[in-house]
């Protein structure tokens, strides 16, 4: 049986295979589209629960003890990156659904696989783990504000979407509360902590299952969006390059040591795609490109991480 580390190292291929299999399956059995879409919501809820259990929400106060690193991460993610995203949006068609999808995913820093990538690149694992609760709380508070600033009148369409409140409560809030309750239940008991660690096996296969369900239930939308994927690809690549450069600049400006500087690069280039995915899926049919843009961005990001895993420790932030 492969180790958890091996599974995480190869997750990009797992997700790509899940999407391809989903498209083939959905194209061959289109009558099952509604059933597969119905399975998507509980699958997302379980995925987010297992993911949130790996974020130590009880450690939120401790995250702010290292003022220099936390300031660099928060300023980079929530003050500088939005300026980059303004430019990135100029690279895609003036389509509200595409813009919304990119805004949803690019504005929210990752709180899960960024830890894995930062660690694999020789980053500071302890600080990567410590910063995740702060990133999660900050993005949930600031995302509505940024959507309102970027989308204007279209933001009201998003807020008034029929399923939005229900999705937020059932697919986001309940898993978050359940994860926090699980963390409190575990306390300092080694056996219970081990249970939470075992839950860390589930995010990769569950996300693969979610991607399979999306691809299988949205075959027509995915195939119809192919002409637009080129522009989204360019925009996401520009974001990755820009985020990397910003991370290097802020790390240098704050005088961060090598491990922390590497971690900073990864928190500025990885995004919380499947945490915001439920919001995109809850929108009316006319907004289906938002979810497709999020899934496509996450795949581009994962391939980008393969490049950064080599570049960051060897070229961009070497040990010297």
285 or 241: which leads in pLDDT: 241
| CA-based torsion, 12, 215, 32, 277: positive or negative | positive
* C-beta neighbour count of 311 within 10 angstroms: 15
CA 8 to chain CA mean position, Å? 15
154 or 290: which leads in pLDDT: 290
Average pLDDT of span 203-229? 91
- Give the DSSP letter string of 105-163: HHTSB-SSHHHHHHHHTT--HHHHHHHHHHHHHHHHHHHHHHHHHHHTTHHHHHHT-TT
Contacts for 91 with CB less than 8 Å, ≥ 6 apart: 231, 234, 235, 238
Tokens of residue 199, six digits: 């839950």
Which whole-number Å values give the CA distances from 129 to 28, 191, 211, in the listed order?
A: 42, 21, 26
Q: Could you give the CA distance from residue 38 to residue 116 in angstroms, rounded to a whole number?
A: 31
pLDDT-derived band at 160 (thresholds 50, 70, 90) equals: low
User: Do residues 299 and 113 make contact, with C-beta atoms less than 8 angstroms apart?
Assistant: no
pLDDT digits (tens, 9 = 90+) for 237-274: 999 999 999 999 999 999 999 999 999 999 999 999 98
- The predicted pLDDT at position 139 comes to 93
Contacts for 200 with CB less than 8 Å, ≥ 6 apart: 4, 50, 53, 54
Report for 103-112, 221-230, 240-249: range of highest mean pLDDT: 240-249
User: Do residues 108 and 271 make contact, with C-beta atoms less than 8 angstroms apart?
Assistant: yes
* C-beta neighbour count of 258 within 10 angstroms: 17
Q: 81-85, 186-190, 207-211: lowest mean pLDDT where?
A: 186-190
pTM: 0.92
- pLDDT exceeding 90 applies to what percent of the chain? 62
Task: Report the CATH architecture of 4-312.
Answer: Up-down Bundle (1.20)
Tokens of residue 272, six digits: 């919380």
- The predicted pLDDT at position 142 comes to 94
End-to-end CA distance of the chain: 37
> Is residue 301 exposed (0-12), middle (13-18) or buried (19+ Cβ within 10 Å)?
buried
- The predicted pLDDT at position 124 comes to 92
Say if residue 320's pLDDT is above 80: no
pLDDT digits (tens, 9 = 90+) for 20-55: 999 999 999 999 988 998 899 899 999 999 988 888
CA 39 to chain CA mean position, Å? 21
Average pLDDT of span 91-100? 94
Which whole-number Å values give the CA distances from 264 to 67, 119, 295, in the listed order?
A: 14, 12, 24
Average pLDDT of span 94-108? 94
Counting DSSP H helices and E strands in the chain, the numbers are 19, 0
H-assigned helices in the chain: 4-9, 11-28, 33-52, 60-63, 67-75, 81-89, 96-106, 113-120, 125-151, 154-159, 164-167, 174-186, 190-199, 203-217, 219-224, 226-253, 258-269, 273-281, 288-311
Average pLDDT, the chain: 90
Say if residue 162's pLDDT is above 60: no
pLDDT digits (tens, 9 = 90+) for 115-142: 889 999 999 988 998 898 889 989 989 9
- The predicted pLDDT at position 25 comes to 95
Say if residue 63's pLDDT is above 70: no
Which whole-number Å values give the CA distances from 248 to 69, 260, 261, 280, in the listed order?
A: 13, 11, 7, 31
pLDDT-derived band at 151 (thresholds 50, 70, 90) equals: confident
Domain boundaries, the chain: 4-312
- pLDDT exceeding 70 applies to what percent of the chain? 95
Tokens 């009558």 identify what position? 31
Say if residue 59's pLDDT is above 80: no
- The predicted pLDDT at position 80 comes to 98
């Amino acid at each position: 049986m492969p180790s958890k580390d091996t599974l995480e190292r190869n997750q990009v291929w797992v997700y790509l295979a899940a999407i391809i299999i989903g498209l083939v399956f959905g194209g061959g059995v289109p009558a099952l589209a509604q059933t597969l879409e119905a399975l998507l919501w509980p699958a997302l809820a379980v995925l987010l629960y297992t993911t949130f259990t790996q974020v130590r929400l009880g450690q939120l106060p401790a995250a702010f003890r290292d003022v220099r690193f936390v300031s660099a991460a928060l300023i980079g993610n929530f003050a500088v990156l939005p300026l980059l995203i303004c430019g990135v949006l100029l690279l895609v068609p003036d389509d509200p659904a595409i813009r919304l999808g990119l805004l949803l995913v690019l504005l929210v820093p990752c709180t899960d696989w960024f830890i894995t990538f930062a660690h694999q690149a020789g980053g500071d694992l302890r600080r990567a783990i410590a910063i995740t609760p702060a990133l999660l709380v900050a993005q949930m508070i600031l995302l509505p504000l940024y959507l309102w600033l970027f989308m204007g009148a279209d933001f009201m369409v998003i807020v008034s979407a029929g399923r939005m409140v229900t999705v937020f409560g059932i697919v986001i809030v309940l898993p978050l509360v359940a994860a926090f309750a699980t963390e409190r239940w575990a306390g300092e008991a080694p056996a219970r902590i081990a249970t939470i660690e075992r839950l860390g096996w589930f995010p990769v296969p569950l996300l693969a299952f979610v991607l399979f369900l999306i691809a299988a239930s949205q075959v027509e939308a995915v195939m119809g969006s192919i002409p637009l994927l080129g522009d989204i690809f360019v925009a996401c690549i520009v974001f990755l390059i820009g985020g990397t450069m910003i991370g290097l600049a802020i790390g240098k400006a704050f005088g961060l040591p090598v491990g922390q500087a590497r971690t900073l690069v990864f928190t500025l280039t990885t995004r919380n795609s499947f945490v915001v995915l439920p919001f995109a899926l809850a929108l009316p049919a006319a907004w289906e490109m938002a979810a497709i843009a999020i899934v496509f961005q996450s795949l581009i990001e994962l391939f980008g991480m393969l490049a950064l895993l080599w570049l960051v420790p060897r070229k961009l932030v070497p040990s010297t």
